[in-house]
Chain A
């Protein structure tokens, strides 16, 4: 974005930091890989030191020094309070109702917080076969609340998703309740441009705060549905020096760890 340099932070940094602020020290957070993982660890390293981070590989209460490339990096196990088997993770801890926040990313997202990470196009004959849901279908329905973070684009934020990998608010309104789902579902969407919350009745995501320097037009131009804005629109506080430094240090450590030259490799 052209004004990123003037502001001193990038839209992606603002997204991660805004997402991190939504987490509290007493949260038990089931962490999706990618953007959610960065946000959760920035929260842990700044204002929420006691947050419990859980990755689906079975690591509970983990505190990695670098962001894991996968959900099962050794770093997660080394720093965890305990590491449990995968069936226990899903049966006791997620299904058992122990997770306060499920934090997910999305390849495709609609205005009701339904997520597609399975296919682009028809399921049987996909144009693009994406990795699929992994833990997300049950994270989306068994966590008490779901936060979603995604960078805005017309391809990613669409009127109709191609596949319901993870159920958000369905067609909106009380659709979750009608399916017998008693958790709150998506309650927060953090993009690189804005913070969104669902309308209390329709459950359609509504912009409640614009990040510094972002206009309504920019939000609409990078979103595939007609965006609703709250009447009293806030401006997201800019990242603090501490937040930015924490995020950048974490990313620098992570890059160094993941790109380390694999000497002596067979290939």
Chain B
């Protein structure tokens, strides 16, 4: 049964050292507050999975929490590279990490297979692509009907998935809208799911019947964290802080500046600080 918990407890109860963990959000609805709570609690040896790792995985990798990262786009979207992740891959700083790299199509299909309870995903992909030669998890199967050779990748089955969403009702059902990305598949593929939301409303009686609603019984814990996806955005609540993404490129470029920023904005902060960070971004959304 879903529990409404303060974020600190939701993370403590559901994440453990050595877990395979997903913090999903395809540019939109990135669960930054949950990632920062995980950083404060100092987990180790995590396998981090995400299509577009961006800032929060740059931060977790830079803090030495990751043993392995599985991804399809290791960039700061529209800005450039992830400098802490690069430092780990190129120089082994602060520790070396294992890399498993896919295409978006590969990971999207792998999440879907995870949600569908299948052992692997089959799709038309990686044709002529170099990734197939460097990632042993990219294989092929032959269609028994047509003979077409198709790509196969193992399903993603995380121990725990974290997502951010617009709202929950009092029963713990969760609404996700806008660019819904891979949120639903990432939740249904996981053993446990933790959702941060902007707010809780009495009920979802007036919603359009075809909206993306995750039933309460698919979720382990919900935490109310207004602004919890900043500097990403929450459609209908506040817009993306593009200036913060541009600024991150400079912060992450320097090991000491990164540590100082993390100390001030993550270690010495809390989930309650997120609401203030999006105040100036609310009216335009």
Chain A interfacial positions (CB closer than 8 Å to B)? 33-34, 56-59, 68-74, 76-77, 83, 85-87, 89-91, 94-95, 118, 123-124, 126-138, 141-142, 163-167, 170, 175-176, 179-181, 257-267
Question: Which chain B residues border A258 with CB–CB below 8 Å?
Answer: 242-243, 246
- Closest Cβ neighbor of A89 among chain B residues: B108
User: Is B216 among interface residues, defined by CB-CB distance under 8 A?
Assistant: no
Task: Report which of A33, A257, A263 forms a contact with B77, defined as CB distance below 8 A.
Answer: A33
Quick check: which of B6-14, B40-48, B99-107, B194-202 contacts chain A, the rest being far away? B99-107
Judge whether A76 and B179 touch: CB under 8 Å: yes
Smallest CB separation, B80 vs chain A (Å): 8
Smallest CB separation, B240 vs chain A (Å): 6
User: Is B185 among interface residues, defined by CB-CB distance under 8 A?
Assistant: yes
Judge whether A90 and B104 touch: CB under 8 Å: yes
- A133-B103, A137-B105 given; A69·B129 CB < 8 A: no
Task: Report which of A131, A134, A137, A264 forms a contact with B125, defined as CB distance below 8 A.
Answer: A137
Interface residue count on the B side (C-beta < 8 Å)? 71
Question: Which chain A residues border B152 with CB–CB below 8 Å?
Answer: none
Chain B contacts with A in 65-79, Cβ cutoff 8 A:
71-75, 77-79
Task: Report which of A70, A91, A127, A163 forms a contact with B108, defined as CB distance below 8 A.
Answer: A91
- Closest Cβ neighbor of A125 among chain B residues: B90
Chain B interfacial positions (CB closer than 8 Å to A)? 26-28, 51-52, 71-75, 77-82, 85-86, 89-90, 101, 103-105, 108-109, 111-112, 123-131, 134, 148-149, 178-182, 184-185, 212, 233, 235, 239-247, 251, 261, 264-265, 269, 273, 276-277, 279-281, 285
Task: Report which of B85, B108, B245 forms a contact with A69, defined as CB distance below 8 A.
Answer: B245
Q: List 26 A-B contacts (CB under 8 A).
A: A57-B179, A58-B180, A69-B79, A70-B78, A70-B242, A71-B27, A73-B27, A73-B240, A73-B242, A77-B179, A85-B180, A85-B182, A86-B51, A90-B104, A91-B105, A129-B74, A132-B72, A134-B73, A135-B103, A138-B125, A164-B130, A167-B127, A176-B128, A263-B280, A264-B279, A267-B261
Smallest CB separation, B93 vs chain A (Å): 13
Question: Which chain B residues border A257 with CB–CB below 8 Å?
Answer: 242
- A70-B27, A74-B235 given; A181·B134 CB < 8 A: no
- A69-B242, A132-B71, A259-B243 given; A181·B104 CB < 8 A: no
Q: A132-B101, A138-B126, A266-B276 are in contact. List 17 more A-B contacts (CB 8 A).
A: A56-B104, A58-B180, A70-B77, A73-B242, A74-B179, A77-B235, A83-B180, A85-B181, A91-B109, A91-B123, A118-B130, A132-B73, A134-B52, A134-B104, A138-B124, A167-B128, A181-B127
- A170-B128, A266-B273 given; A86·B104 CB < 8 A: yes
Question: Which chain B residues border A132 with CB–CB below 8 Å?
Answer: 71-75, 101
Task: Report which of A69, A129, A142, A165 forms a contact with B130, defined as CB distance below 8 A.
Answer: A165
Judge whether A264 and B127 touch: CB under 8 Å: no
- A95-B105, A164-B129 given; A262·B27 CB < 8 A: no
Question: Which chain A residues border B261 with CB–CB below 8 Å?
Answer: 267
Judge whether A86 and B181 touch: CB under 8 Å: yes
Listed residue (A73, A163, A170, A175) with the most chain B CB atoms within 10 angstroms of its CB: A73
Question: Which chain A residues border B239 with CB–CB below 8 Å?
Answer: 74
- A69-B240, A138-B104, A267-B264 given; A180·B181 CB < 8 A: no
Judge whether B103 and A129 touch: CB under 8 Å: no
Listed residue (A33, A87, A130) with the most chain B CB atoms within 10 angstroms of its CB: A87
Smallest CB separation, A233 vs chain B (Å): 31
A167 and B133 alpha carbons, distance in the complex (Å): 13
A92 and B90 alpha carbons, distance in the complex (Å): 37
- A57-B181, A83-B180 given; A179·B128 CB < 8 A: yes
- Closest Cβ neighbor of A164 among chain B residues: B130
